[in-house]
Structure 1
């Protein structure tokens, strides 16, 4: 799988040393995570994304910017080592690769909603039905461990870390043990984001493919 395809799949999908982790019951973890996410209407940040193999060796990295708005809208722009963007307007998702002059558009379906970007922009209440959630506290950091209850997902475990109820880190682990860690900075929450940010702006000459599966 190429680097570009790997990052696209991920999109369409650590400590206070003196503190001892306290793990709550799964239902309490889900309730707490829902209380944090329910007030979230918009989210904007710069990100750094690292893909690690099962032994912890870094395989790939990228950085860029992202925007989220409920319900179901997001824009994820990779700036380096290449340009790529994934955009959802709440009904469809577009993957745009400027180097290939190609854009793929597909409906926002059940499988896509189980990826991390739309996990944040979707309904917080869906977490209770879709994931087993546990919570760990280490100092000022709260980490939630989400394990999907359905088989058709792109990851086996997702960790979300918050400081002061502000999301700082996402970490996903797939069935091979490969991990993707995404760190956020320069974060803004619940501020105005123009709806045009989630429009599909397809340059002239781009080959548009509509995936009807």
Structure 2
């Protein structure tokens, strides 16, 4: 569960660091570029759903079925800092201050610390939390308009010098843009599992306290440190 939560949250987090008001007429890819380029801090609410196709004995006309749903709040600061705070149906936080990645599980009363660079290396976060351009690492492909959003597919560009071309945990990453803001993310892994994240109440370039990305485990909590 921790690995799944971490991978999803990091993948999602990596895409969100960025925006400003943008004309509705601009393409989804251009809206995304400007969002990444112009936003320094972002906060808002999220609902994350894990979806699957209906089984043979289930109605086939109802679309994808929700297997699991969580919701909470997120905060990001470029480069490389974020809090992904799941509040329902359980309390769990994923935090990075740029050097450490921390997973706090309230039910387990456990905090797991690991180097941020190692944990983020196999996700889009390694690119998008830095100062690099999206176009340097991804091909942005404009897709259809659906659910009131302009969808953009992010396709990783191949690096001939990279040792492993298959580090990303997702085979497909799509972002739904509306009025210059990412309002939804669709992540599909190699097994066909779908994660849909919808975002709301997004605030840009907010002032954040210096300790917003620090975390001190409660007294008596189990602390696990991974190298």
Q: 1:68 matched to which residue of 2?
A: 76
Q: Is 1:100 matched with 2:101? A: no
CA RMSD, aligned part only?
Answer: 2.5
Structure 1 segments unaligned to the other structure (5+ residues): 14-23
Scaled by the length of structure 1, the TM-score of the pair is: 0.81
Could you say if the C-alpha distance between residues 72 and 66 of structure 1 is closer, same or farther in structure 2, counting changes exceeding 3 Å?
same
- Counterpart contact for 2:31–2:180, Cα < 8 Å: no
| Contact 2:117–2:126, Cα closer than 8 Å, also in 1 | no
Cα 1:208–1:110 change in 2 (3 A) is closer
Match of 2:178 among 157, 160, 163: 163
TM-score (norm 2): 0.76
Question: How many pairs align?
Answer: 195
CA distances 1:175-212 after superposition (whole Å, capped 9, x unpaired): 01111111111110111122211011211111111111
> Structure 1, residues 104-154: CA drift from partner, whole Å, max 9, x if none?
1111226615546676544351x3233232123638733210123431111
Structure 1 residues 1-213: aligned runs within 5 Å: 2=1, 5-13=3-11, 29=29, 33-55=32-54, 56-109=64-117, 112-115=120-123, 121-125=129-133, 127-136=134-143, 138=145, 141-149=149-157, 150-212=165-227
Greater alpha carbon shift after TM alignment, 131-140 vs 54-63: 131-140
- In structure 2, stretches of 5+ residues that fail to align are 12-26, 55-63, 158-164
CA distance in 2, matches of 1:39, 1:96: 30
